[in-house]
Amino acid sequence: MARKPKVLFPLIGAIALLIIASSAVPGYGSKTGQAPPEAALVGNAACRDCHEEVSDAFAGTIHGLTADASGRSAGCESCHGPGSAHIEAADPALIHNPGKGGQFEQSVCLGCHNTEAFDSWSVAHHNRGDVGCADCHKVHAEHQAWTPEYVQKTCYNCHGNVQAASFMPSHHPIREGKVTCLDCHNPHGGPVRFVQEETGRELCLSCHPEKEGPFVFEHAPVNEDCLVCHAPHGSVANNLLVANEPTLCLNCHAMHFHATVEGVDGAFSVPQAPDRAGVSTVDGWKKGMLTKCTQCHTQIHGSDLPSQAGSTAGNTLTR
Amino acid sequence: MKKILAYATGGLIIWSLVAASVMAQGITPVSKYTLWIGNHYTDFADYRGKVGEYDRGQERWLPEFILEHVSRGEGQFTSFKAHYFDENNILGTLTSRVGSRFQADFRYRSSVPQKGQDLLANLETREAINGNPGGKILTHEILDPGAHYSVHRRELEGRLDYLVSPSHNVKFMAAHKTTLQSGTEQKTSANHCFSCHVTSNGVKVEKVIHQLTAGLQGDFGKHTAGYEFAYRSFESKTMAPTAYYDEAKHPVNGGSGAEFTSRQNFSDTSLPYGTYPRTEKVQHKVRFKGPLGSGDYATSLSFSKSFNRDTDLDGTSWVGSVSYAYPLDVRTRLIAKLIGTKLDVDEVFVDVPTYRRGRPGPQSEFDFTRYSSLNRFDLRGSLEVIRRFNEKVTGSVLLGYDNIARDDYPVHDEGLTTSRFTGEIKVRYRKGLRYSTAIKYRMEKTTDPFTSGRGLFEARGRDVLNPPAANFAFVFYYQREGLRYQNITTQPTLVHIFEWESSWKPDKAVNVNLGLKGKYDKNGDLDSLDVNHLMIQPHLALNYMPNPRWSLALGTNYSHAKARGPVAVALFDG
């Protein structure tokens, strides 16, 4: 079944075209400015003389209120660098303005925000998509707690398809404010996509550890990837399933043997007992055995207890 | 729970005292308190929701309040919020930073997901023989009709960060999270013989999850190194429910007991069911990051071990990752990522009674060694070039390759290896923070995707009897290895994804989103069955948040999904 991918050359060609085409685009010069080496620190008050509105708002931020952990000057010049040359010449080019730099100019923020959560920022999904710190964080605005509502608004600014999914009948309680995007995702980057844990499976197990095992009797897709069966942002099917039972189960498993009674060599038929209407109907067995598999196979994520049927070696996850 | 609350309260008091003592050394802090008091009522008339899993309302007037406190001063910041919606829905957060070295964060939240009750009404039928009732029977029994199932989930978590040495950026962190789940949930037990009889009952739930994390990091020149330890435990505190499993006999005349019993693993006995094993997990992780050449690297290596304390089964995991971002020029970056995962789980011998034990004719031993489907080496890598054409336009091209080598799945020592090639191209246009639009196309080409290697709940790797055993003119269903070891799958071999997202912010408080997501996949190995899925999802959304206390979300999305799977063929009589 192995087939050679036929898309390698087109994609390599696309990369080459991208680079060649971009060479025709006028250069994008840095607008971030830079303080000269001889510039000296002047303090927040000097900045406020000209930037009163921004300076006052900044005073209420966590940056403006707390001392700089790196030991540099607390306040404006922690990020913008020494301001004396800028003040004397009134030249915007003589002060560092990291907000103008976009994705290539995040080092100022990372100078202090350098815990594990930021390890992968240089290769993070957002960074790669030209989303910088200032796209989500208001550095100069008054402190805003990351309440569930505020997290939603910030993330949904760009991720409208996730917001749409969260309005499906089955969803994680995001819109109810019980779970936020940050419970699962690290917007500053992660080893896999941008989830908080090292693998997608481990992420799910961090809140649902009863499904981890190791179990004696396993269900392979549980070990493979939770996304084989679940759509975490929302689904029309119950329990965040990608499709309702039994359709989902029948994607991998053949029809249950009790759904028919004629035997493998006979025609597909359904048992009928017209005289027992309401109990045994035309579709009685189909209804019984092809409606909701987990009514009997309750331990679908794994079990340590053998099930009753002998020929399955206790492996049917019913107990 | 009382202990936890006591610890949490004590911790908060101590922290407040520390904060107060430090505050006293600085300037007078500015404090602001806000108290919201009100009532709410929810009307469920004409309510037609499915289960209303997270609907919080009750049909009565309930008091509600929110208390907020923010204080700030030189070197100090505290933010506190408590929201009482009802006794089951409470949210509390506290963030405090004292000086330049301490920061603490606490959070408590609770909710009650509603579980609904499956009435099992579809489980009531009986087969017919020659037009007359007889043969197999399927029945159900609800032992607590009208029950209301729900599980109260409470989470308490805290994190402390301490900057040990500013000059070397030495930081220590410790975090804890406790999750308690209590309530009642529906459990069903199924008798396989003599009748298929499913019994439903309400079962008490009391689950406890503890998570503890501690870490240390520091700078060595331009490089940062860190170590983190994590521990997690899970335990169900309730006694396992038990069910009586019928004495096996013929479903119509009650005879042939010995024959039917010989085909079951157990019969005429009460046994526990629906249990949750006690599990623990420990993890050690080291990480490094820093500059390398003109670029930046980040790498980590973690080892974790998970324990099933009820069965003494262990699982180990090694995860290593390396990423490197390199500027090809001032506008172009190359990003390389590689992550490898090695998973191993203990094997276990499953000893079950002989099939048709003590009966004349063929007997079968279904004992087997369970080799875990988790055993594997998973290697995933990607290479991406990102080009910033100008201030507004960015483009990227990504190539990825995954290789998942399963050791023992579907068959021991003959695992399935999946390889996946990924290509992605993306262009983004943005005009400041007011407007952005992005188009992405992604393609995944997979050979030998994950498959259900056990088509019909059968244990893998077992000898099969084919042709029919002596004295039997037919083949038992479990002998049909072509079905049992099917190598087909509905997982796709080819995936096309198209996404368009645009965002417009006419005002600071307003955001408008418009987008379209389309996905088409098919399994090229199953052309004769034409397995494919198509999903198209356009959406439009408006978010209005004039201030943190008011938010309005309006939106509409249309999801069109079409799936074509393999025909579920009629098989055989059980």
Beta strands B242-245 and B435-447 are: unpaired
Instruction: Tell whether A241 lies on the interface with B, counting CB pairs under 8 A.
Output: no
Residues contacting A289, CB < 8 A, separation 6+: A256, A258, A259, B138
Percent helix, strand, coil in chain B, to 5, is: 5, 60, 35
3 state SS of B261: helix
Cross-strand pairs, B116: none
Q: How far apart are CA B452 and CA A224, in angstroms?
A: 10
Q: What is the pLDDT of residue A91?
A: 85
| Nearest neighbour of B79 by CB, restricted to A2, A143, A213 | A143
**Cβ atoms of residues B245 and B265 within 8 Å:** no
Residues contacting B334, CB < 8 A, separation 6+: B295, B325, B326, B327, B328, B383, B384, B385
Which A residues in the span 129-188 are in contact with B, Cβ-Cβ below 8 Å? 129-130, 134-135, 143-145, 147, 149-150, 152-153, 156-161, 163-165, 167-171, 173, 175-178
Q: How far apart are CA B179 and CA B181, in angstroms?
A: 7
**Cβ atoms of residues A274 and A283 within 8 Å:** no
Burial of B362 (0-12, 13-18, 19+ CB in 10 A): middle
Q: What is the pLDDT of residue B500?
A: 94
Question: Could you tell me which chain B residue has the CA closest to the CA of A21?
Answer: B389
Q: How far apart are CA A82 and CA A100, in angstroms?
A: 18
Instruction: Tell whether A56 lies on the interface with B, counting CB pairs under 8 A.
Output: no
Amino acid at A211: K
Residue closest to A289 by CA, chosen among B247, B456, B255, B269: B456
Residue B2 has pLDDT above 80, yes or no: no
- The CA angle B322-B324-B330, to the nearest 5 degrees, is 170
Residue B58 CB neighbours (<10 A): 13
Q: How far, CA to CA in Å, does A242 sit from each of A226, A248, B364, B538, B560?
A: 11, 7, 38, 18, 13
Residue closest to B297 by CA, chosen among B350, B223, B375, B366: B223
Q: How many residues does chain B have?
A: 574
Residue A129 to residue B438, Cβ atoms within 8 A: yes
Q: What is the pLDDT of residue B169?
A: 86
- The ipTM assigned to this model is 0.85
Residue B308 to residue A14, Cβ atoms within 8 A: no
Closest-CA distance, B490 to chain A, in angstroms, reads 6
Residue B224 to residue A27, Cβ atoms within 8 A: no
Q: Which residues of B touch A134 (CB under 8 A)?
A: 433
3 state SS of B214: strand
3 state SS of B14: helix
Instruction: List, for residues B417-468, the tens digit of each pLDDT value.
Output: 999 999 999 999 988 778 889 999 999 999 888 876 554 444 344 444 444 4
Residues contacting B450, CB < 8 A, separation 6+: A220, A221, A224, A225, A228, B404, B416, B418, B489, B491
Chain B contact probe: residue of A106, A178, A239, A250 with most B CBs at under 10 A = A178
Residue B331 to residue A262, Cβ atoms within 8 A: no
**Cβ atoms of residues A130 and B394 within 8 Å:** yes
Instruction: List, for residues B516-555, the tens digit of each pLDDT value.
Output: 989 999 887 655 556 788 888 898 888 888 876 677 878 7
Confidence of residue B326 (pLDDT cuts 50, 70, 90): very high
Instruction: Tell whether A119 lies on the interface with B, counting CB pairs under 8 A.
Output: yes
| Nearest neighbour of A153 by CB, restricted to B167, B486, B543 | B543
CA Rg value for chain B: 30
Residue B124 to residue A279, Cβ atoms within 8 A: yes
Instruction: Tell whether A24 lies on the interface with B, counting CB pairs under 8 A.
Output: no
Cross-strand pairs, B378: B341, B404
Instruction: Tell whether B107 lies on the interface with A, counting CB pairs under 8 A.
Output: no
Q: How far apart are CA B397 and CA B428, in angstroms?
A: 12
Instruction: List, for residues B398-422, the tens digit of each pLDDT value.
Output: 999 999 999 988 778 888 899 999 9
Q: What is the pLDDT of residue B345?
A: 96
CA Rg value for chain A: 30
**Cβ atoms of residues B534 and B517 within 8 Å:** no
| Nearest neighbour of A308 by CB, restricted to B76, B163, B192 | B192
For the full predicted model, state whether its pTM sits above 0.90.
Answer: no
Residue closest to B297 by CA, chosen among B197, B224, B358: B224
Chain B contact probe: residue of A70, A223, A245 with most B CBs at under 10 A = A223
Closest-CA distance, B30 to chain A, in angstroms, reads 10
Instruction: List, for residues B458-508, the tens digit of each pLDDT value.
Output: 434 444 444 444 554 444 444 444 444 445 566 788 999 999 999 898 887
Q: How far apart are CA A291 and CA B532, in angstroms?
A: 23
- Phi and psi at residue A246, to the nearest 5°: -90, 0
Q: How far apart are CA B68 and CA A110, in angstroms?
A: 30
**Tokens linked to B113:** 């997901």
Q: How far apart are CA A220 and CA A242, in angstroms?
A: 17
Residue B350 to residue A216, Cβ atoms within 8 A: yes
Q: Which residues of A touch B321 (CB under 8 A)?
A: 191, 198
As a whole number, mean pLDDT of residues B176-188 equals 95
- Phi and psi at residue B88, to the nearest 5°: -100, -10
**Tokens linked to B380:** 């995933």
Residue closest to A224 by CA, chosen among B321, B372, B490, B457: B372
Residue A123 to residue B311, Cβ atoms within 8 A: no
Q: What is the pLDDT of residue B528?
A: 53
Task: For residue B468, give the DSSP letter.
Answer: P
What is the per-residue burial (b if ≥16 Cβ within 10 Å, else e) of A46-74?
bbbeeeeeebebbbbbebbbbbbbbebbb
Q: What is the pLDDT of residue A265?
A: 32
Q: What is the pLDDT of residue B480?
A: 45
| Nearest neighbour of A257 by CB, restricted to B120, B452, B574 | B574
Closest-CA distance, A87 to chain B, in angstroms, reads 26
Q: What is the pLDDT of residue A279?
A: 47
Q: How far apart are CA B429 and CA A19, in angstroms?
A: 17
> pLDDT tens, position by position, for chain A (319 residues)?
444 445 556 666 666 655 555 544 443 345 567 788 888 888 778 888 888 888 877 776 777 765 444 444 467 888 888 888 898 888 888 888 877 665 545 677 887 787 778 888 888 888 877 788 888 888 887 667 788 888 888 888 888 778 888 888 888 988 888 899 999 998 888 766 566 667 788 889 999 999 998 999 999 899 999 998 999 998 888 899 988 888 788 777 766 666 654 333 333 344 444 444 444 444 567 777 778 899 999 999 999 999 998 878 888 899 9
**Three-class SS string for chain A?**
CCCCCCCHHHHHHHHHHHHHHHHCCCCCCCCCCCCCCCCCCCCHHHHHCCCHHHHHHHHCCHHHHCCCCCCCCCCHHHHHCCCHHHHHHCCHHHCCCHHHCHHHCCHHHHHHCCCHHHCCHHHCHHHHCCCCHHHHCCCCCCCCCCCHHHHHHHHHCCCHHHHHHHCCCECCCCCCCCCCHHHHECCCCCCCCCECCCCHHHHHHHHCHHHCCCCCECCHHHHHCHHHCECCCCECCHHHECCCCCHHHHCCCCCCHHHCCCCCCCCCCCCCCHHHCCCCCCCHHHHHHCCCHHHCCCCCCCECCCCCEHHHCCCCCCC
Instruction: List, for residues B125-157, the tens digit of each pLDDT value.
Output: 776 655 555 667 788 999 998 888 999 999 999
| Nearest neighbour of B133 by CB, restricted to A149, A177, A280 | A280
Instruction: List, for residues B57-115, the tens digit of each pLDDT value.
Output: 778 898 999 998 888 776 778 889 999 988 888 999 999 988 778 899 999 999 988 88
Residue B490 to residue A296, Cβ atoms within 8 A: no
| Nearest neighbour of B448 by CB, restricted to A1, A116, A143 | A1
Q: How many CB pairs under 8 A join A and B?
A: 499
Q: How far, CA to CA in Å, does A55 sit from each of A161, B229, B387?
A: 37, 41, 35
Q: Which residues of B touch A164 (CB under 8 A)?
A: 537, 539, 541, 555, 557, 559
Which B residues in the span 192-211 are in contact with A, Cβ-Cβ below 8 Å? 192-193, 196, 198, 207, 209, 211
Cross-strand pairs, B495: B444, B521
Closest-CA distance, B3 to chain A, in angstroms, reads 22
- On average, the pLDDT of chain B sits at 82
Cross-strand pairs, B30: B72
**Cβ atoms of residues A302 and A222 within 8 Å:** yes
Q: What is the pLDDT of residue A189?
A: 81
Q: How far apart are CA B265 and CA B353, in angstroms?
A: 6
Cross-strand pairs, A230: A241
Residue B303 has pLDDT above 60, yes or no: yes
Instruction: List, for residues A45-67, the tens digit of each pLDDT value.
Output: 888 888 888 887 777 677 776 54
Q: What is the pLDDT of residue B269?
A: 93
Calculate the CA A287 to chain-centre distance. 38
Residues contacting A223, CB < 8 A, separation 6+: A201, B372, B373, B374
Instruction: Tell whether A223 lies on the interface with B, counting CB pairs under 8 A.
Output: yes
Largest CA distance in chain A: 101
Whether residue B548 is preceded by a cis peptide bond, meaning omega within 30 degrees of 0, is: no
Amino acid at B264: Q
**Tokens linked to B444:** 């995944």
Residue B318 has pLDDT above 60, yes or no: yes
- The CA angle B419-B425-B430, to the nearest 5 degrees, is 145
Q: What is the pLDDT of residue A261?
A: 42
Place of tokens 């998970």: B306
